[in-house]
């Protein structure tokens, strides 16, 4: 990845058209890496995203004794250990990778044996991201988990002791908690049930996890929308090869760019049969005035020249829903985004951050506990946005480069978390040299 300046000026963008191939999905990649490590035989993972978050998972697996052989930068062979770690380090450092921290807590609680113990830790922001509901669910079934600084937060010491049975977890904070349990419980000796309480957030990510473990031979039976039956003593089976879909969350920026600037943009890597919920962002840009055409593994978006405001419940696609904020700044009227309380427990407090940064362009923004209401100004001001070490904030506000006055993006390099080539691709599709 080209080294980016501390502040990148994005301006003069008039058109955005062409074809772009998405990097592999972070959510699928980190799940696939851990599941492959639990498999009985080697697994070839194709279209693997190479980013900060996947690097943290790869480092953790290596520390646990899992051999990962790199064929190309985006293709690796994971030599599964059937859940029997050959080494158990004292500490795993996971940065700010929630897709590594959450599943590893549950999977290690299910697979560590005897006196084995490992401490999971992260960067300062990870130490502020809650784990309490997941910890409580595991401790109730015998897991030995010890929060070493603040209760319910990393750093967290994990030891053996988890027992099968009836698990309950609040699904309103993070779907990653639910996915972590769905990945871990089949490894226990006896049968379990998992019951979800609260207003379940990001359900498509739960469905994604069930589909993925199914590809590796694991059966999870829905009893109802809120309860699952999980047979114990199952074994993750290698499918031989597993292809990682393109990042549907990343697709949202190109859909938005086409809606703002006309396009057309053809996005390769996700299509009409994608297993990712964030592909639903195509419905958002359609409602705001764009045209969407689906292919088997692609989607093409064209803009109409005028964006309509929208009222949107972002509960099911919270990551992609962030991209509505820059669209709202170009729309003709008031836009509201509701039911996104879990934005506050992501890489940063995204509700506060998105409200603060949108106001810099002259917008009137009302921030509630779980919503934003945005009234765009008649003329967008030029602004310098702070990105809070949050890749999605950087990519969202880069779209203000299509405004008359442009935008300065602080710390654009934070995009390396999921989309290291984002600004290179933006330059190419807009036919303008943004990079020094």
| Beta-sheet strands, E only, within 80-215 | 91-93, 117-121, 144-147, 156-159, 166-170, 192-197
Consult the annotation and say whether 392 binds a ligand. Answer: yes
Consult the annotation and say whether 368 binds a ligand. Answer: no
The SS3 assignment for 248 reads helix
Consult the annotation and say whether 14 binds a ligand. Answer: no
Pairing of β 43-46 and β 335-338:
unpaired
Q: CA 234 → CA 140, 183, 188, 191, 382, distances in Å? A: 22, 11, 8, 10, 56
Consult the annotation and say whether 27 binds a ligand. Answer: yes
In 121-138, which positions are buried (b, 16+ CB within 10 angstroms) versus exposed (e)? bbeebbeebbbebbbbbb
CA atoms within 13 A on the CB side of 32: 28
- What the block records as the tokens of 252 is 């949202």
Consult the annotation and say whether 175 binds a ligand. Answer: yes
The SS3 assignment for 278 reads helix
Consult the annotation and say whether 179 binds a ligand. Answer: no
Neighbours of 200 (CB within 10 A): 18
Binning the chain into helix, strand and coil, the percentages to the nearest 5 are: 35, 25, 40
Neighbours of 308 (CB within 10 A): 14
Consult the annotation and say whether 360 binds a ligand. Answer: no
Consult the annotation and say whether 115 binds a ligand. Answer: no
Which among 53, 133, 170, 319 is annotated as catalytic?
319
Residue in the structure block whose two tokens are 């923004």? 365
Consult the annotation and say whether 249 binds a ligand. Answer: no
Nearest to 249 by CA among 430, 20, 21, 26: 26
Consult the annotation and say whether 125 binds a ligand. Answer: no
Consult the annotation and say whether 276 binds a ligand. Answer: no
370 part of the active site: no
Consult the annotation and say whether 319 binds a ligand. Answer: yes
Rounded Cα–Cα distance for residues 57 and 338 (Å): 32
Q: CA 153 → CA 137, 145, 312, 398, distances in Å? A: 14, 11, 31, 32
Neighbours of 411 (CB within 10 A): 20
Consult the annotation and say whether 416 binds a ligand. Answer: no
Consult the annotation and say whether 127 binds a ligand. Answer: no
Q: Could you give the angle at the alpha carbon of 309 between the alpha carbons of 303 and 310, nearest 5°?
A: 105
Consult the annotation and say whether 342 binds a ligand. Answer: yes
Mark the binding-site residues for phosphoenolpyruvate, compressed into ranges: 26, 98, 129, 176, 350, 392, 417
Mark the binding-site residues, compressed into ranges: 26-27, 31, 98, 129, 174-176, 202, 319, 342, 346, 350, 392, 417
Mark the binding-site residues for 3-phosphoshikimate, compressed into ranges: 26-27, 31, 174-176, 202, 319, 342, 346
Active site residues: 319
């Amino acid at each position: 990845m080209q080294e980016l300046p501390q502040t990148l000026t994005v301006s003069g963008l008039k058109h955005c058209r062409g074809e772009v191939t998405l990097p592999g999905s972070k959510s699928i990649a980190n799940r696939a890496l851990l599941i492959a490590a639990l498999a009985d035989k080697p697994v070839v993972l194709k279209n693997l995203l190479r980013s900060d978050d996947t690097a943290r998972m790869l480092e953790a697996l290596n520390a646990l004794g899992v051999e990962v052989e790199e064929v190309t930068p985006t293709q690796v062979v994971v030599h599964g250990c059937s859940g029997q770690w050959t080494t158990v380090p004292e500490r795993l450092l996971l940065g700010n990778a929630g897709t590594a921290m959450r599943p590893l807590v549950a999977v290690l609680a299910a697979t560590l044996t005897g006196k084995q113990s490992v401490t999971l830790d992260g960067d300062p922001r990870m130490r502020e991201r809650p784990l309490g509901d997941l910890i409580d669910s595991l401790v109730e079934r015998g897991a030995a988990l010890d929060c070493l600084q603040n209760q319910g937060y990393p750093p967290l010491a994990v030891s053996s002791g988890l027992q099968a049975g009836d698990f309950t977890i609040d699904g309103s904070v993070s779907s990653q908690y639910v996915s972590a349990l769905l990945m871990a419980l089949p490894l226990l000796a006896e049968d379990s049930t998992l019951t979800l309480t609260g207003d379940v957030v990001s359900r498509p990510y739960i469905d994604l996890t069930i589909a993925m473990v199914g590809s590796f031979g694991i059966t999870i039976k829905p009893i109802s929308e809120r309860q699952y039956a999980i047979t114990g003593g199952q074994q993750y089976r290698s499918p031989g090869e597993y292809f990682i879909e393109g990042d549907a969350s990343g697709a949202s920026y190109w859909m938005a760019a086409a809606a703002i600037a006309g396009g057309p943009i053809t996005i390769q890597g996700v299509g009409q049969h994608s297993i990712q919920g964030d592909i639903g962002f195509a419905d958002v840009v359609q409602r705001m005035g764009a045209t969407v055409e689906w292919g088997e593994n692609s989607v093409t978006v064209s803009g109409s020249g005028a964006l309509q405001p929208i009222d949107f419940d972002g509960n099911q696609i919270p990551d992609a829903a962030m991209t509505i904020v820059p669209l709202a700044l170009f729309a003709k009227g008031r836009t509201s985004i509701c039911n996104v309380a879990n934005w506050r427990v992501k890489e940063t407090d995204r509700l506060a951050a998105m409200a603060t940064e949108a106001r810099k362009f002259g917008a009137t923004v009302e921030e509630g506990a779980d919503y934003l209401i945005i009234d765009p100004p008649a003329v967008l001001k030029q602004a310098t946005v702070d990105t809070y070490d949050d890749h999605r904030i950087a990519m969202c506000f880069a779209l203000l480069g299509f405004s008359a006055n442009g935008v300065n993006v602080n710390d654009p390099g934070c995009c390396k978390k999921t989309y290291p080539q984002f600004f290179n691709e933006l330059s190419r599709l807009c036919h303008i040299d943004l990079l020094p």
